[in-house]
């Protein structure tokens, strides 16, 4: 069989620990035998980030902007323990944070559903995609401990001489209290809205959005207003033509509706809501290892990855020579997502078909009873039909099924 040819390279961002091991297995077993794989390789492993003073992360993000499509392996975000472990020059920032800041993107996370792994909410028969605004709010907040009586104020001085001032709290008790100031930018909210509406059109799904605008009449209400304005002026007609809808309600109302729903829509979340709800959804759908993630920028760049981390505990077991059973599904889907998008942009139908088959082979492998330990523990399949495989054998079994389809 001739290998599938590519035109434009994918931006390949390698990573750390167990996922770096899986990365190589996936390339060797599932990609290189079938595709004449073209990538521009960036090593985002912590050692090389440190060697380049994290320049490699910036270069990778810029390459993502240049070529449009990237696939990323999970990476370590260093903390104090990692600084010692890797003898780092500095506690480098989160690579995902750096890439998000350069692409100004929105993160979409969707569960991969397979028969036998039943969501904790059994009415969810279709995936729910979370779109998380990855900028501002409490993540860029400024806080103070004011542990004595006194007055906390919110002050704005406009460059043109305007002045706004509000008392946040007049603390009268001896032990005072705490205050917090946070912001968002109208531009970032508008980008967020466009990314959401574009993704809804691209995936033909309804989009739901919620804030607490009844309580937060200026802050949250601005999110509501900008979304409505962007929808009315730029997307309404295209949504109607595609037969999809934009639905806005309050955050507490939406939570209730999500639980009662059957899934199959995109839930746009403010930054904090998205942080919390994506972990809730990943667990409720069965496993963190079955959650894909794609960063979409408003000017149409895509970065695909797994939602989970580097699976450190499994990596240490692997280094000790112990057998691991780490789930590679989300990382495989990061590759298939990126290859499909590359195929779409370059008009290569074969590459899109390959991506579809790779996903089908992966799901089919699990549904026929061959899976990693995390899934074997939670599947509703009859015990005799379940075969728990190690990390590499799982990927090799997918390869057999894929080869049979090609």
Helix (H) / strand (E) containing 100? helix 95-103
Integer distance in angstroms from the first to the last C-alpha of the chain? 9
Least separation in angstroms between CB 260 and ligand NAP: 29
Q: Which is nearer to Mg ion, 101 or 381 (CB)?
A: 101
Taking CB under 5 A as the binding criterion, the range among 100-108, 202-210, 273-281, 332-340 that sits at the site for Mg ion is 273-281
Taking CB under 5 A as the binding criterion, the range among 99-107, 150-158, 275-283, 311-319 that sits at the site for Mg ion is 275-283
113: its two tokens: 């559903």
Q: How far apart are CA 158 and CA 162, in angstroms?
A: 5
Q: How far apart are CA 35 and CA 24, in angstroms?
A: 15
Task: Enumerate residues 6+ apart whose C-beta is below 8 A from 319.
Answer: none
Q: Which is nearer to ligand NAP, 278 or 310 (CB)?
A: 310
Task: Enumerate residues 6+ apart whose C-beta is below 8 A from 405.
Answer: 357, 360, 361
> Which 302-331 residues touch Mg ion, going by CB under 5 A?
none
Least separation in angstroms between CB 68 and ligand NAP: 20
Give the CA distances from residue 94 to residues 99, 100, 132, 309, 330, in Å, rounded to whole numbers and listed in that order. Answer: 9, 10, 17, 12, 20
Q: Which residues pair with 137 in a beta bridge?
A: 183
Please give the residue ranges that form the binding site for ligand NAP (CB under 6 A): 74-77, 96, 288-289, 305, 308-313, 326-327, 374
Least separation in angstroms between CB 349 and ligand NAP: 31
Q: Which is nearer to ligand NAP, 76 or 281 (CB)?
A: 76
336 binds, among ligand NAP, Mg ion, none (CB under 5 to 8 A by kind): none
Q: How far apart are CA 257 and CA 117, in angstroms?
A: 23
One residue of 40, 275, 350, 353 binding Mg ion per CB under 5 A: 275
275 binds, among ligand NAP, Mg ion, none (CB under 5 to 8 A by kind): Mg ion
Least separation in angstroms between CB 249 and Mg ion: 23
Q: How far apart are CA 155 and CA 82, in angstroms?
A: 39
Least separation in angstroms between CB 126 and ligand NAP: 23
Task: Enumerate residues 6+ apart whose C-beta is below 8 A from 398.
Answer: 29, 30, 332, 358, 361, 362, 365
Identify whether the C-beta of residue 117 lies closer than 8 Å to the C-beta of residue 378. yes
Q: How far apart are CA 280 and CA 180, in angstroms?
A: 26
Q: Which is nearer to Mg ion, 244 or 307 (CB)?
A: 307
Q: Which is nearer to ligand NAP, 238 or 313 (CB)?
A: 313
Least separation in angstroms between CB 331 and Mg ion: 19
351 binds, among ligand NAP, Mg ion, none (CB under 5 to 8 A by kind): none
Least separation in angstroms between CB 383 and ligand NAP: 20
Using CB under 5 A, count the residues that bind Mg ion. 2
Q: How far is CA 216 from the centre of its chain?
A: 27
Pair type for strands 206-211 and 265-269: parallel
Least separation in angstroms between CB 275 and Mg ion: 4
Q: Which is nearer to ligand NAP, 50 or 374 (CB)?
A: 374
Q: Which is nearer to ligand NAP, 60 or 288 (CB)?
A: 288
Q: Which is nearer to ligand NAP, 261 or 328 (CB)?
A: 328
Q: What share of the chain is helix, strand, coil (3-state, %, to 5)?
A: 45, 25, 30
- Which positions touch Mg ion (CB under 5 A)? 275, 279
């Amino acid at each position: 069989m001739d290998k599938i040819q590519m035109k434009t390279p994918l931006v390949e961002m390698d990573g750390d620990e167990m996922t770096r091991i899986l990365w190589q297995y996936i390339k060797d077993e599932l990609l290189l035998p079938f595709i004449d794989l073209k990538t521009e390789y960036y090593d985002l492993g912590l050692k090389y980030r440190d060697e380049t003073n994290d320049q490699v992360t910036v270069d990778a993000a810029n390459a993502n902007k240049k070529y449009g499509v990237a696939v990323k392996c999970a990476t370590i975000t260093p903390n104090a323990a990692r600084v010692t472990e890797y003898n780092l020059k500095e506690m480098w920032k989160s690579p995902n944070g750096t890439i998000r800041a350069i692409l100004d993107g929105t993160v979409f996370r969707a569960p991969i559903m397979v028969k036998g792994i039943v969501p904790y909410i059994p009415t969810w028969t279709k995936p729910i995609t979370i779109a998380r605004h990855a900028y501002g709010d409490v993540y860029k907040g400024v806080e103070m401990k004011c542990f004595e009586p006194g007055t906390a104020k919110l002050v704005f001085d406009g460059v043109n001489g305007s002045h706004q001032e509000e008392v946040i709290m007049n603390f009268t008790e001896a032990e005072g209290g705490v205050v917090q100031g946070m912001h968002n930018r109208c531009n970032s909210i508008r980008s967020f809205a466009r990314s959401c509406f574009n993704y809804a059109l691209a995936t033909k799904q309804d989009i739901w959005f919620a804030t607490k605008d009844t309580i937060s009449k200026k802050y949250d209400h601005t999110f509501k207003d900008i979304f409505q304005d962007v929808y009315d002026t730029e997307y309404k007609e295209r949504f109607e033509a595609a037969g999809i809808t934009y639905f806005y309600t309050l955050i507490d109302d939406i939570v209730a509706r999500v639980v009662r729903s059957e899934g199959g829509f995109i839930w746009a979340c403010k930054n904090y809501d998205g942080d919390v709800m994506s972990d809730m959804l990943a667990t409720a759908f069965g496993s963190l290892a079955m959650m894909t993630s794609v960063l979409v920028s408003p000017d149409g760049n895509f970065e695909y990855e797994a939602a989970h981390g580097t699976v450190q505990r499994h990596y240490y077991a692997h280094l000790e020579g112990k057998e691991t059973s780490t789930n590679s599904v989300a990382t495989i889907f990061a590759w298939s997502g990126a290859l499909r998008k590359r195929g779409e942009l370059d008009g290569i139908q074969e590459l899109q078909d390959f991506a579809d088959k790779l996903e089908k082979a992966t799901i089919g492998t699990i549904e026929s009873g061959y899976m990693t330990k995390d899934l074997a523990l939670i599947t509703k399949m009859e015990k005799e039909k379940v075969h728990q495989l190690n990390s590499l054998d799982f990927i090799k079994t997918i390869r057999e099924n894929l080869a049979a389809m090609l």
